[in-house]
Amino acid sequence: MKVLKFGGTSVGKPERMHSVAKLISSPDPKIVVLSAVSGTTNALVDISNKLSNKDSKGAEEAIANLFGPYKSFVDELYSTEAGKAKGHAIVKTYHDLIRSYVGKADFGDKETRLFLAQGEIISTNLFQEYLVEQGYSSALLPALDFMKTDADSEPMLDYIETKLNEQLAKFPNKHLYITQGYVCLNSDGEVDNLKRGGSDYTATLIGAALRMEEIQIWTDIDGMHNNDPRIVKRTFPIPEISFDEAAELAYFGAKILHPTCIRPAQVRKVPVRLLNTMQPEQKGTVINNTPSDRDITAIAAKDGITAIKIKSSRMLLAHGFLRKVFEIFENYKTSVDMITTSEVAVSLTIDDAKNLDQIVKELKEFSIVEVDMDQTIICVVGNFGKEKTGIGKRLFDAMETIPVRMISYGGSSSNISILINGGNKNEALNALNEKLFFHAEKV
Ligand code: ASP
Ligand code: MG
């Protein structure tokens, strides 16, 4: 069995839903996870904010703006009168539900979470009805019947496995199941969600829970690219990448999959394939546990980094200095990303500079501190085992004309990080791309 997830743009227009139906028409068994129609979740956030602020008039307006366009959506989605009538009835149900909260005394977090779930509930109900109209034999599985998080908001994989199997057993003759992304129950049994963009997470949880053959994430990009296509011209989709490499890339800005989403699939060894709804015949990218024999897989960048250099003459031959430094970061719950040290100084980077002033003040009590804002981490991901030679040379050759502030190599065997001035990012990404992917001399 496979699980296939389609995001907001993939179901954002009636004709896109038609394409999704075609893509899932093969007879092999599958669970299809859908996001809300694009724009819907944002609108629901906005309506919830207005109701929380007792702005009934604004909320009414926003509700009308959200549901207005669903009329033509329904008219274009279905081809029969019976289908259209059912579609309009679905939209009316959720429109009425949401409107019934206007003017209610207290609208809080619980109600907001209930509202946010409605986008996926609407899209899946409309889609399921479309499949019925088109003669597909599919079943709608409510995510609230199997998707659950614990008191720490962590998904309960074993619970999901048990409940999902129970749900599937109710429809022994079906091969096609539709369900909502993003939506879940929390530990209090209330309607909740897996955080914005959480439909991917739903898909990887389902695939992992049932130890499926494959998890497919369908978007409008042809997989993970070797470099940022917005900045670098000659990029290409990576056919195969390991979970570790994908997690490094996701953290460093490749927007395609959140690192937490990859975890369940990695733990239960289910490959994740990234595919493009616009070009379904393309292979996309498969993320799996097979380490590649390639040296370099991809390059990514993370902006808005702050570098802090902490120097102490007393660090020479002293112990306990690093503990003192890191304790300060820990006290301010600020995570440190890159670290480099010399005998008398340590340089490190942080992403969240909210408590920078306080941190610097405390560091200055025992050291000389230098801060550089607007730095960029360039992360080169690949297979840099201990025995590899020559990679450093190629990297430095590419960076020949670009000032390098920090380098971190050896922390993990799949990542080399370089810190540069944010202003040099485009030049660095392009130079590295040419040198590492197109003029790679044999090493
Ligand atoms: N609809 C939710 C959101 O927009 C979840 C998702 O699309 O993945 O955040
Ligand atoms: Mg979305």
> Which helix (H) or strand (E) covers residue 124, if one does?
helix 109-133
Q: What is the pLDDT of residues 337-386, one digit of tens each?
A: 999 998 889 999 999 999 999 999 999 999 999 999 999 999 999 988 87
Scan for tokens 């914005």, then name that residue.
196
Q: Is the pLDDT of residue 442 over 60?
A: no
Instruction: Write the DSSP symbol of residue 229.
Output: T
- Binning pLDDT at 50, 70 and 90, where does residue 295 land? confident
> Which helix (H) or strand (E) covers residue 406, if one does?
strand 406-412
Q: Where are the beta strands (DSSP E) in 189-276?
A: 191-193, 214-219, 240-242, 272-276
pLDDT at 443: 45
Q: What is the pLDDT of residues 171-181, one digit of tens each?
A: 999 999 999 99
Radius of gyration of the chain (CA): 25
Q: Is the pLDDT of residue 251 over 80?
A: no
In this prediction, residues 299-315 reach a mean pLDDT of 89
- Taking the CA of residue 120 as reference, the ligand 1 atom at the shortest distance is 1
Smallest Cα–Cα separation from 363: which of 325, 335, 333, 323?
Answer: 325
Smallest Cα–Cα separation from 85: which of 36, 40, 129, 123?
Answer: 129
**Beta carbons of 417 and 407 less than 8 angstroms apart:** yes
Q: Comparing 2-220 with 297-442, is the CATH topology the same? A: no
Residue 320 burial (CB count, 10 A): 8
In the CATH hierarchy, which fold is given to the domain comprising 2-220?
Carbamate kinase (3.40.1160)
Map 348-384 to HEC letters.
Answer: EEECCCCCHHHHHHHHHCCCEEEEEEEEEEEEEEECC
How far does residue 217's CA lie from ligand 1's centre (Å)? 13
How far does residue 360's CA lie from ligand 2's centre (Å)? 38
> From atom 5 of ligand 1, which residue's Cα is the shortest distance away?
197
Q: Which ligand does the CA of 36 lie closest to?
A: 1
How far does residue 181's CA lie from ligand 2's centre (Å)? 10
How far does residue 290's CA lie from ligand 1's centre (Å)? 30
Share of the chain above pLDDT 70, in %: 97
Residues with CB under 6 Å of ligand 1 are 7-8, 35-36, 41, 119, 181-182, 196-199
In this prediction, residues 31-37 reach a mean pLDDT of 98
How many whole angstroms separate alpha carbon 313 and alpha carbon 224?
46
- Taking the CA of residue 200 as reference, the ligand 1 atom at the shortest distance is 8
- Taking the CA of residue 42 as reference, the ligand 1 atom at the shortest distance is 4
Domain boundaries, the chain: 2-220, 297-442
Q: Is the pLDDT of residue 438 over 50?
A: yes
Range in 52-66, 254-268, 332-346 with the lowest mean pLDDT? 254-268
Task: Show the tokens assigned to 344.
Answer: 């008398």
**Beta carbons of 30 and 176 less than 8 angstroms apart:** yes
DSSP-derived secondary structure for 130-160: HHHHTT--EEEE-GGGT-BB-TTS-B-HHHH
- Taking the CA of residue 119 as reference, the ligand 1 atom at the shortest distance is 1
The angle formed by the CA atoms of residues 65, 73 and 78, to the nearest 5 degrees, is 155
pLDDT at 250: 79
pLDDT at 315: 59
Q: What is the pLDDT of residues 316-335, one digit of tens each?
A: 557 888 899 999 999 999 99
- Taking the CA of residue 38 as reference, the ligand 1 atom at the shortest distance is 4
How far does residue 180's CA lie from ligand 1's centre (Å)? 10
In this prediction, residues 244-269 reach a mean pLDDT of 83
How far does residue 133's CA lie from ligand 2's centre (Å)? 26
> From atom 8 of ligand 1, which residue's Cα is the shortest distance away?
197
Please tell me the CATH code under which domain 297-442 is placed: 3.30.2130.10
How far does residue 201's CA lie from ligand 1's centre (Å)? 10
- Taking the CA of residue 8 as reference, the ligand 1 atom at the shortest distance is 7
Q: Which ligand does the CA of 38 lie closest to?
A: 2
What is the chain's mean pLDDT, rounded? 94
Q: What is the pLDDT of residues 377-419, one digit of tens each?
A: 999 999 888 788 888 888 999 999 999 999 998 888 888 999 9
How far does residue 236's CA lie from ligand 1's centre (Å)? 27
Collect all residues with Cβ–Cβ distance below 8 Å to 172 and sequence separation of at least 6.
Answer: none
- Binning pLDDT at 50, 70 and 90, where does residue 277 land? very high
Q: Is the pLDDT of residue 129 over 50?
A: yes
**Beta carbons of 401 and 359 less than 8 angstroms apart:** no
Among 194, 199, 202, 204, which is best to mutate for testing ligand 1, by the most ligand atoms less than 8 A from CB?
199
Q: Is the pLDDT of residue 274 over 70?
A: yes
Q: Which ligand does the CA of 200 lie closest to?
A: 1
